[in-house]
RNA sequence: GGCUCGUUGGUGAAAUGGUUAACACAUUGCCCUCUCAAGGCAACAUUCACGGGUUCAAAUCCCGUACGAGUCACCA
């Protein structure tokens, strides 16, 4: 059976945005659905203008953080290297293949100036006509071309397209798409700086690297016929195409690198887990056949099916990601959870409170890691609060009730020798029973006294356990003083 | 403007010609409960952009319209 080979081919022009990551994910899943499938990373740095230093490292780091490990790539090597286009260029392959097309009559050398073409285009647009460039260089004689090259005139190599007929191709997601050749313009294959364009390098490298499935955004849908014409000119087998719908920021805009739209790095900084992010974005534009949403990466590999990729754009919903992140946090083993939250806890808790107990009250509550510091901000320092806090209609508490409850609680707690959860719990619950009041009338005031806040993670019992006997009694005293 | 693609609730979506259009997030209400969460239960599209057509039967097939997106670079 054919070995599946997919590739992720980003250009190193900045951070990794979510749509990009999802494309990488899908390419990975398609390869890894099969035991011998390969996922390849290729860096497309043919645009020397837009290169950004360090961008390649961001790509490496992101893939690694997500567990999207590539089998071949610039850092891990492989049999089809080099895996960076600027390095591939050194052997002259793009030029060689471009010249092969020229010889076959499928491309030609063009000396036209960019500005001239642009000017013609503007004239056509002003008239409201559609613009297809008819290149006069196509008619140049071989001798003249050679002479001008020899004279040092800059040139590009441009594709030849027969305007007659139609070109169609099959996409695994969108089905069969055909276009009239007369609407296709002849794209530049090799730029005047000697670098190939994305369009050309992509075809050459996908073929040379034996890529079987091309996964990319649907913005390439309308130019794919032109790529196929190149495959045909060489007589090469075409890959399967899997075009993915866009990930949108809102109804009208794609998620983009501009104006701080969610990048993977941003989300991690905001306290989201890579595995939750990956799980969430897998569901943007794809749905499993079973009624389930939580998938680990290996589970996704099994469940993924190209046939179930959607055709329309999906809006990125941070609320749902937040929920999913919470699921991952809650389902995590406790020891892993503790080491994960440690740096966030210490942001607001400098005193030596038991981390295990803190983790226990946080685990069911925090959806993102970054909300942790604020949830614990009352531990080190009791905030100043108003006695109105003791009034709660549902708990049937008032400052008067609180005063009685706190005095009674103080008494039983101060006599406690072994300060542990069960003891505190039993003492307070039996106290409430003795006083013949509902638990809330006793515990609510205690919780407020301990925290000075209307809402806290955990209740009175958990908080007193974390704060310890001395601090708890001290805070109850403070409350008693406030209440006069 | 030409070409290509898309349109199911606030969001992600299922359904692949045949009962009351799944499910999840969000929202609202109730239960549980010492607060907040978590958890449980319930409500939330007489309708699938709109208009025609085919059919005994259409969200599902066909045609048209509207709206949206992509593309038309020596960017990817």
The integer distance in angstroms from the CA atom of A310 to the C1' atom of B43 is: 30
What's residue A137's pLDDT? 83
- CB neighbourhood size of A39 (10 A): 23
Average pLDDT over residues A393-398: 90
A378 CA → B27 C1’, Å = 31
CA distances from A112 to A81, A118, A201 (A): 34, 11, 22
DSSP for A159-197, written as a single string: E---SSSEEEEEETTTEEEEEEGGG----EEE-TTSPBP
Q: How many CB atoms lie within 10 A of CB A177?
A: 16
**Residue A319 banded pLDDT, cuts 50, 70, 90:** very high
Q: Is the predicted pLDDT of residue A190 greater than 90, yes or no? A: yes
Model pLDDT for residues A126-146, shown as the tens digit of each residue: 777 777 888 888 888 888 888
Nucleotides of chain B touched by protein CB (<7 A): 1-8, 10-16, 22-26, 33-39, 68-76
Instruction: Report CA(A63)–C1'(B16) in Å, whole number.
Output: 35
Model confidence band, residue A197 (pLDDT cutoffs 50, 70, 90): very high
Catalytic residues of A: 257
| A252-269 burial: b if 16+ Cβ within 10 Å, else e | eebbeeeeebbbbeebee
Q: Nearest nt to A195, CA vs C1'? A: B74
* Distance, first Cα to last Cα, chain A: 83
Instruction: Check: CB of residue A109 under 8 Å from CB of residue A149.
Output: yes
Q: What is the pLDDT of residue A259?
A: 61
Angstrom distance, A366 CA to B51 C1': 50
Question: A318-331 vs A274-282: helix axis angle to the nearest 10?
Answer: 130
Q: What number is the average pLDDT over the span A53-61? A: 92
Give the nearest nucleotide to A283, CA to C1'. B12
- A455/A447 Cα distance (integer angstroms): 9
Token pair 């983009």 is found at A256
Tokens read off for A239: 């890959």
C-alpha A132/C-alpha A120 separation (Å) is 10
Average pLDDT (A63-68) is 96
Query: How do residues A338-367 score in pLDDT, each as one tens digit?
Result: 999 999 999 999 999 999 999 999 999 999
Determine phi and psi for A385, rounding to 5 degrees. -140, 165
Q: Residue A431 gets which letter from DSSP?
A: H
Question: How sure is the predictor about A461, in pLDDT bands with cuts at 50, 70 and 90?
Answer: very high
CA–C1' gap, A287 and B19, in angstroms: 26
Maximum Cα interatomic distance, chain A, rounded to a whole number of Å:
109
For the sheet with A175-180, list strands across it: A38-41, A5-8, A213-217, A240-244, A166-171, A175-180
Cα three-residue angle A168-A169-A170, rounded to 5 degrees:
140
A402-452 pLDDT, tens digit each: 999 999 999 999 998 899 999 999 999 999 999 999 999 999 999 999 999
Neighbours of A174 (CB within 10 A): 17
At residue A257, does pLDDT exceed 90? no
Minimum-distance residue to B1 (CA–C1'): A128
pLDDT at A1 over 70: no
Q: Tell me the per-residue pLDDT of A68-124, one tens digit each, with 9 for 90 and over.
A: 999 999 999 889 979 999 999 999 999 999 999 999 999 999 988 888 888 888 887
Tokens 């994910």 map to which residue?
Answer: A25
Q: Measuring from the CA of residue A129 to each C1', which nucleotide is nearest?
A: B1
Q: What is the phi-psi region of residue A141: left when phi exceeds 0, alpha when psi lies from -120 to 50, beta otherwise?
A: beta
Question: Tell me, what's the pLDDT at A284?
Answer: 95
Helix (H) or strand (E) holding A476: helix A469-482
Higher pLDDT, residue A5 or A182: A5
Side-chain-side CA neighbours of residue A315 (13 Å): 8
pLDDT of A130 reads: 75
**Which pLDDT tens digit goes with each residue over A206-219?**
999 999 999 999 99
Nucleotide nearest to A118 (CA to C1'): B73
């Amino acid at each position: 059976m054919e070995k599946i080979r997919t590739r992720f081919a980003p250009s190193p022009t900045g951070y990794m945005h979510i749509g990009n990551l999802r494309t990488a994910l899908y390419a990975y899943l398609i390869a890894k659905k099969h035991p011998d499938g390969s996922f390849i990373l290729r860096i497309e740095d043919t645009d020397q203008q837009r290169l950004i230093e360090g961008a390649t490292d961001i790509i490496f780091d992101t893939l690694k953080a997500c567990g999207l490990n590539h089998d071949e790539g610039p850092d891990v090597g492989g049999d089809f290297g080099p895996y960076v286009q600027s390095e591939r260029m050194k052997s002259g392959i793009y030029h060689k293949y471009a010249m092969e097309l020229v010889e076959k009559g499928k491309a030609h050398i063009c000396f036209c100036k960019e500005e001239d073409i642009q000017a013609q285009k503007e004239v056509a647009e002003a008239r409201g006509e559609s613009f297809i460039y008819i290149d006069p260089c196509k008619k140049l004689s071989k001798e003249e071309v050679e002479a001008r090259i020899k004279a040092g005139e800059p040139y590009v190599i441009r594709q030849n397209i027969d305007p007659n007929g139609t070109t169609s191709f099959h996409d695994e997601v969108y089905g069969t798409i055909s276009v009239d050749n007369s609407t296709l313009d002849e794209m530049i294959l090799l730029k005047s700086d000697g670098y190939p364009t994305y369009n050309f390098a992509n075809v050459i490298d996908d073929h040379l690297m034996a890529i079987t499935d091309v996964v990319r955004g649907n913005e390439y849908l309308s130019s794919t016929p032109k790529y196929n014409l190149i495959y045909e000119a060489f007589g090469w087998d075409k890959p399967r195409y899997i075009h993915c719908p866009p990930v949108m920021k809102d109804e009208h805009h794609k998620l983009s690198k501009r104006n701080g739209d969610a990048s993977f790095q941003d989300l991690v900084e905001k306290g989201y887990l890579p595995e939750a992010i990956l799980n969430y974005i897998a569901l943007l534009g794809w749905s499993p056949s079973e009624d389930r949403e939580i998938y680990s990466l290996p589970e996704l590999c099994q469940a993924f099916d190209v046939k179930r990729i959607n055709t329309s754009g999906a809006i990125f919903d941070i609320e749902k990601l937040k929920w999913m992140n919470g699921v991952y946090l809650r389902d995590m083993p406790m020891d892993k959870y503790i080491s994960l939250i440690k740096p966030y806890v210490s942001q607001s808790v400098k005193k030596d409170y038991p981390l295990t107990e803190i983790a226990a009250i946080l685990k069911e509550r925090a959806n993102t890691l970054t909300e942790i510091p604020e949830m614990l901000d009352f531990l080190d320092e009791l905030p100043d609060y108003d006695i109105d806090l003791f009034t709660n209609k549902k708990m049937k508490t008032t400052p008067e009730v609180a005063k009685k409850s706190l005095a009674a609680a103080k008494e039983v707690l101060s006599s406690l020798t072994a300060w542990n959860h069960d003891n505190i719990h039993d003492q307070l619950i039996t106290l409430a029973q003795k006083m013949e009041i509902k638990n809330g009338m006793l515990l609510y005031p205690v919780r407020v006294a301990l925290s000075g806040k209307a809402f806290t993670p955990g209740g009175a019992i958990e908080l007193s356990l974390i704060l310890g006997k001395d601090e708890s009694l001290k805070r109850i005293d403070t409350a008693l003083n406030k209440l006069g």
